[in-house]
A and B are shown apart, each in its own frame.
Chain A
Amino acid sequence: MKGLFKSKPKTPVDVVRQTRELLIYIDMNWNSRDPKREEKMAELCKNIREMKSTLYGNSESEPVAEACAQLTQEFFKDNTLRLLIVCLPKLNLEARKDATQVVANLQRQQVHSRLIASDYLEANKDLLDLLISGYEDMDIALHYGAMLRECIRHQCIARYVLESEHMKKFFDYIQLPNFDIASDAAATFKELLTRHKSTVAEFLSKNYDWFFAEFNSRLLSSANYITRRQAIKLLGDMLLDRSNSAVMVRYVSSKDNLMILMNLLRESSKNIQIEAFHVFKLFAANQNKPPEITSILVTNRDKLLRFFKDFKIDKEDEQFESDKAQVVREIQSLKKENAS
């Protein structure tokens, strides 16, 4: 209908093919002085936008499932994703944003009830290395970061990233001085460690020693307020998840961990205190406390009880109050045992 007076509209497959050709051209001729380059660049941006409006719809129309499926199939048939990721730094800001949204959307598109994006990525895992390295380039970090977060929605991809050497780099990325990028990296880090329960549990058990050593020393003991705040929140999320119970039991049996948590309880930041409490309560509630944990709690009994007496949160929270009461009971009962 739209093309009644215009030339025949391009099909989604045409758009993807043309995009691919243009990307190849741009990739090869980046430094050439071909006068057509500008023109091709504009054409490329237009095509990316068209893909976006096919996938998301626009002000006039909702997305059509059939068109989305065709586009997705054609997109992953060849190496369009690779080309798009590689050429992203060469695009202008608007095209980069469009491309990011296209890539994000494609991760969720099913063709014959299969997520073909997942299959493609599994066969091209080096693309994830590329996306992660984006955190080192301010210019593209937010675009690559957003793509990466969408890619790790696939469990197999999240597993790859978790098991890769990249995990160690995140401890640096989330402390980058640039807040936009650091917080984007932190969001990805959190996603990796909370999204796919079974994979996360497996990762944490296998990598317990180095991971929590890093986590404690570099994040929970960081000089940076926001790093500590995000880290303690994430630690609570991880340890309180039922699927990580084995890891939790191990964590709350360590004297060093307890000392770090007690220091966090003493922070002047209420937000950090509250998050620290949610982890501390696990130490106290543990029914099989190792002697060294018990002895620390007993030594600090009066201080802790005094602290909890005044420890309140702004809004009423029954769960918090009952947790607190239980922790206080636990600590009080420890004294009796010790004395008897």
Chain B
Amino acid sequence: MPATCSTKCESYISSVNSSCTQRTIAALTDPRMKYKSLISPLPSTLRTRRARSRTCAEQEKEKAEEGGADNAIAMYPLDSKSYRLLYEVGSGVSAVVYKAACLPLDSAVVAIKSIDLERSRANLDDVRREAKAMALLSHPNILRAHCSFTVDRHLWVVMPFMAAGSLQSIISSSFPDGLPEPSIAVVLREILHALSYLHAQGHIHRDIKAGNILVDSDGSIKLADFGVSASIYESHPSSSVSLFMSSSSSSFFNDMAGTPYWMAPEVIHSHLGYGIKADIWSFGITALELAHGRPPLSHLPLSKSLVMKITNRLRLEEHSKDSSSGGSKKKFSKAFKDMVASCLSRDPSKRPSADKLLRHPFFKNCKSTDYLVKNVLQAVPAVEERYKQRRMAQEIKCINGGEMEEGSASPLVKHRRVSGWNFNEDVLELDPVYPAAESEEDTGRKEDDDKDQKKSYEGGGDQEEKKEVAKKKGSEAAPLTVLKQTLVPNLVSLLSSLELQRGMVMDVLSHCGCRDGQQAESLREQQMWGYIKSLQQTVEDLKLQLLREMKRNGELEEKLAVLKREVNANDEDLHAVALTT
């Protein structure tokens, strides 16, 4: 197959693979090509089969193997030739996760995390510690590595394949407003079991979040990614730098390097001397993430300045904020709110242990993991499908988003100061705490930022933007008219919301009697216009993108037809090959 078409075919492959049998792909795909440059001819009858039934069967097969032998580690071969990479299911800054087949083990399905050791500048000792932790932990709720070995500059970590992917990807693809409470309870209980085990072992995970919670097709839940985990029994250099670096460099199933959103105050405020209770905080934040579809404060860009500002401010003010900012339409049970509130105590010693949390009333009538299969997994597209969608969404973001984020969003944020977080139990939200103004001059600016901030809670620009992204994903294959119908009204409402916000900001400024009000106003006006322009640009780019996609789709369709003809000719030969390999 000529190399030129490999990139075009990539997206096609990953979507079609989901509905074809493992064996066929394994036999047809050349491992060194990493599946990209070889278009697998597929029997058309297989294309319609549901992906879920297939992965279930595979998982069962794999589990039988795993349970059959105690030393499962020894069974997995330690060379790259024994594995056939099928397709990407996730990627991070310096790691890619593949679904793969282990050929000597009857093409058992595994996940392979390929960590680029050259790109992850973090100390190799960190990598060693992660590999060791993963090799020595053994618990049904913890993802354990089968084995790991180096392939040139990459470290391959071979792990069980979790067919339903991470909860973060499940949420972003199918539950943008969060999961229903009974499902949350199931997930959290499983994670508490994992934490209870980890903490009893003296391990601190340090990176609990939905992106690190993996789900299998049978609803079983495993905690993954020990990239930043620490053991209190092992001396190690704990530096803040490596903490940030390795968390972003080795995260499983990609997400933005958003880890600081989940970080406990004592982790942010001092990088020393925090213990297992930091995991409990992150667990609480993860509960909020599952409930709302995103971690609290995630609408604030994760700029370095923000992190620095949180870090530098050691004093925490206890502002009791009025809870009118909520407006959350969801109702959560008292038990849930109470459980989360206890995890988010500012004082680590007041946070309950994982064991104690398991006895909380919230988990009393908790369903089994089967519940997730019926109530969550049914609604979710296959993991490779989701990955593809997200990557496309990211591409779009890259095309349009660049200037938008840097140009107009961050200057506003730079003035924002968050000194801490107050958990607002009524609406199950974290409210940022702002320090009192340091000087008279500062007051005007601060208040307007404050105001600005509050508005985004009230369903202003940010919410709209989120929906936009969701719409973008959805409209990929839709005709242009649908795109217009859905996008344009949203953008119009975003515009009017921006106008409204501008008015309110002006209002605040005039009330403060701020002298440089006029100046600030014109500045703000410019920023607004820049923002609106870039949004208009976004619409244009999306249209182009859509046209391009449609064209590509046509091309691929043609190619597929040609290939199908080839398949019919070669089908039998290939099956023979499959059997011999």
Please give the residue numbers on chain A whose beta carbons come within 8 Å of chain B beta carbons, in ascending order. Answer: 56, 59, 93-94, 97, 101, 104, 138-139, 142, 177-180, 183-184, 186-187, 224-226, 229-230, 269-271, 314
Q: Select one of B128, B136, B153 contacting A269, CB under 8 A.
A: B153
Quick one: given A138-B73, A226-B124, are A179 and B150 in contact (CB under 8 Å)?
yes
Give the contacting residue for B127; candidates A94, A178, A183; CB below 8 A: A183
Q: Is B148 an interface residue (CB 8 A)?
A: yes
A179 and B74 contact, Cβ closer than 8 Å, known pairs A97-B201, A225-B117, A271-B118: no
A180–B132 CB distance below 8 A: yes
Q: Determine whether the beta carbon of B353 is less than 8 Å from that of A59.
A: yes
Instruction: Out of B71, B125, B148, B155, name the residue touching A139 (CB < 8 Å).
Output: B71
23 contacts between A and B (CB under 8 A): A56-B202, A56-B233, A93-B136, A93-B138, A101-B202, A104-B233, A139-B74, A142-B135, A177-B149, A178-B147, A178-B149, A179-B148, A179-B149, A179-B155, A180-B128, A180-B131, A180-B135, A183-B124, A183-B132, A224-B150, A225-B117, A225-B150, A271-B121
B82 to chain A, nearest CB (A): 11
A17 → chain B, closest Cβ, in Å? 25
Q: A225-B118, A225-B153, A230-B124 are in contact. List 20 more A-B contacts (CB 8 A).
A: A93-B136, A93-B138, A97-B201, A139-B74, A142-B136, A179-B148, A179-B150, A180-B128, A180-B135, A183-B128, A186-B128, A225-B152, A226-B117, A226-B150, A226-B155, A229-B117, A229-B124, A270-B118, A271-B118, A314-B121
Q: Which of B179-212 contact A (CB under 8 A)?
A: 201-202
- Counting chain B CB atoms within 10 Å of each CB, which of A56, A229, A269, A271 scores highest? A271
Chain A: minimal CB distance from B138 (Å): 5
- Kindly state whether residue B78 has any CB partner on chain A within 8 Å: yes
Q: How far is the CB of A127 from chain B (nearest CB, A)?
A: 21
The smallest C-beta distance from A97 to any residue of chain B, in angstroms, reads 6
Nearest A residue to B117 by beta-carbon distance?
A226
| Chain A residues whose CB sits within 8 angstroms of the CB of B135 once the complex forms | 142, 180
Q: Tell me the complex Cα distance, A79–B76, Å.
A: 37
Q: B74: which A residues are within 8 A, CB to CB?
A: 138-139
Does B73 lie within 8 Å of A179, measured CB to CB?
A: no
Least distance between B357 CB and chain A CB atoms (Å): 14
Please give, as numbers and ranges, the residues of chain B lying within 8 Å of A93 by CB-CB distance.
Answer: 136, 138
Complex: A180 Cα to B201 Cα, angstroms: 19
Docked CA distance A285–B121 (Å): 28
Q: How far is the CA of A97 from the CA of B201 in the complex (A)?
A: 9
- Measured CB to CB, the closest approach of chain B to A286, in angstroms, equals 29
Also in contact, A177 and B118, with CB within 8 A (given A101-B233, A138-B73, A139-B71): no
Q: Which residue of B lies closest to A96 (CB)?
A: B136
- Complex: A104 Cα to B231 Cα, angstroms: 13
Q: In residues 97-125 of chain B, which contact A (Cβ within 8 Å)? A: 117-118, 121, 124-125
Cβ of B79 < 8 Å from any Cβ of A? yes
Chain B residues numbered 140-166 whose CB sits less than 8 Å from any CB in chain A: 147-150, 152-153, 155
| Complex Cα–Cα for A104 and B202 (A) | 14
- Shortest Cβ distance from residue A108 to the other chain B in the assembled complex, whole angstroms: 10
State the CA gap A330–B343 with chains docked (Å).
Answer: 61
Among residues of A, the one whose C-beta sits closest to the C-beta of B150 is A226
B:22-44 near A, CB below 8 Å: none
B148 touches A180 (CB 8 A): yes
CA distance A294 to B83 in the complex (A): 49
Q: Tell me how far the C-beta of B375 lies from the nearest C-beta in chain A, rounded to whole angstroms.
A: 34
- Closest Cβ–Cβ distance, residue A320 to chain B (whole Å): 15
Residues of B at the A interface (CB closer than 8 Å) are 71, 73-74, 78-79, 117-118, 121, 124-125, 127-128, 131-132, 135-136, 138, 147-150, 152-153, 155, 201-202, 233, 353
Q: Are B150 and A184 in contact (CB under 8 A)?
A: no
Whether the Cβ atoms of B124 and A178 lie closer than 8 Å is: no
Chain A residue numbers with a CB within 8 Å of B131 are: 179-180, 183
| Among B131, B155, B202: residue with most chain A CB under 10 A | B131
* Docked-complex contact A178 and B118, CB < 8 angstroms: no
Which chain B positions have C-beta within 8 A of A138?
Answer: 73-74
Chain B residues lying within 8 Å of A314, measured Cβ to Cβ, are: 121
The 3 A-B residue pairs whose C-beta atoms are closest, nearest first, are A183-B128, A177-B78, A179-B148
Docked Cα-Cα span, A138 to B353, in Å, equals 35
Contacts of B152 in A (CB 8 A): 225
Which residues of A are found within 8 Å of B79, using beta-carbon distances? 177
- When distances are taken between beta carbons in the complex, the residues of chain A under 8 Å from B127 are 183
Residues of chain B with a CB closer than 8 A to A183's CB:
124, 127-128, 131-132
Q: Which residue of A lies closest to B355 (CB)?
A: A59
Residue of B nearest to A101 (CB): B233
The interface residues of chain B lying within 8 Å CB-to-CB of A271 are 118, 121
Chain A residues with Cβ below 8 Å from B71 are 139
B147's closest neighbor in chain A, by CB? Answer: A178
CA A142 to CA B147, docked complex, whole Å: 13
On whether the beta carbons of B150 and A178 are closer than 8 Å, the reply is no
Q: In the complex, what's the smallest C-beta–C-beta distance from B485 to chain A, in angstroms?
A: 47
- How far is A183 from B148 in the complex, measured between Cα atoms in Å? 11
* Residue numbers in A under 8 Å from B78 (CB-CB): 177-178
Distance in angstroms from A235 CB to nearest chain B CB is: 15
- Given the complex, which residues of B lie within 8 Å of A139, measured CB to CB? 71, 74
Contacts of A230 in B (CB 8 A): 124
Min CB distance B358 to A, Å, is: 14
**Which of A56, A93, A179 counts the most chain B CB atoms within 10 A?**
A179
CA distance A226 to B123 in the complex (A): 12
Give A148 to B138 CA distance when docked, in angstroms. 23
CB closest chain-B residue, reference A315? B121
Chain A residue at minimal CB-CB distance from B120: A271
Contact with B132, one of A101, A142, A224, A269 (Cβ below 8 angstroms)? A142
Chain B residues with Cβ below 8 Å from A104 are 233
A240 vs B455: C-alpha distance when bound (angstroms): 58
- Least Cβ distance of B93 to chain A in Å? 14
Complex CA gap A176/B338 in Å reads: 51
Cβ–Cβ < 8 Å partners of A225 in chain B: 117-118, 150, 152-153
Give the complex CA separation of A56 and B201 in angstroms: 11
CB distance from B442 to the nearest CB of A (A): 32
Min Cβ gap A185→B in Å is 10
Query: Is the beta-carbon distance between A187 and B125 smaller than 8 angstroms?
Result: yes
Residues of chain A within 8 A of B147, CB atoms compared: 178-180
Q: Is the CB of B128 within 8 A of A187?
A: yes
Most-contacted residue by chain A among B71, B74, B121, B136 (CB, 10 A): B136
Complex contacts, B150 vs chain A, CB 8 Å: 179, 224-226
Residue of B nearest to A59 (CB): B353
User: Please, which residues of chain A bring their CB within 8 A of the CB of B138?
Assistant: 93-94
- Are B117's CB and A178's CB within 8 A? no
> Which B residue's beta carbon lies closest to that of A269?
B118
Residue of A nearest to B153 (CB): A225
Closest to A181 in B: B135
| Complex CA–CA separation, A230 to B149 (angstroms) | 15
**Interchain CA distance A226-B201 in the complex, whole Å:** 30
Among B74, B78, B135, find the residue whose CB has the most chain A CB atoms closer than 10 A: B135
Distance (whole angstroms) from the CB of B145 to the closest CB of chain A: 8
Task: Give CA–CA (A277, B499) in the complex, Å.
Answer: 57
Q: Which residues of B contact A180 (CB under 8 A)?
A: 128, 131-132, 135, 147-148
Contacts of B121 in A (CB 8 A): 271, 314
Docked complex Cα distance between A229 and B128 (Å): 14
Alpha-carbon gap, A104 to B233, bound state (A) = 9
In the assembled complex, the Cα of A94 lies from the Cα of B136 at a distance in Å of: 9
Chain A, Cβ-Cβ closest to B77: A177
For the complex formed, measure the closest distance between the CB of B237 and the CB atoms of chain A, giving whole angstroms. Answer: 13
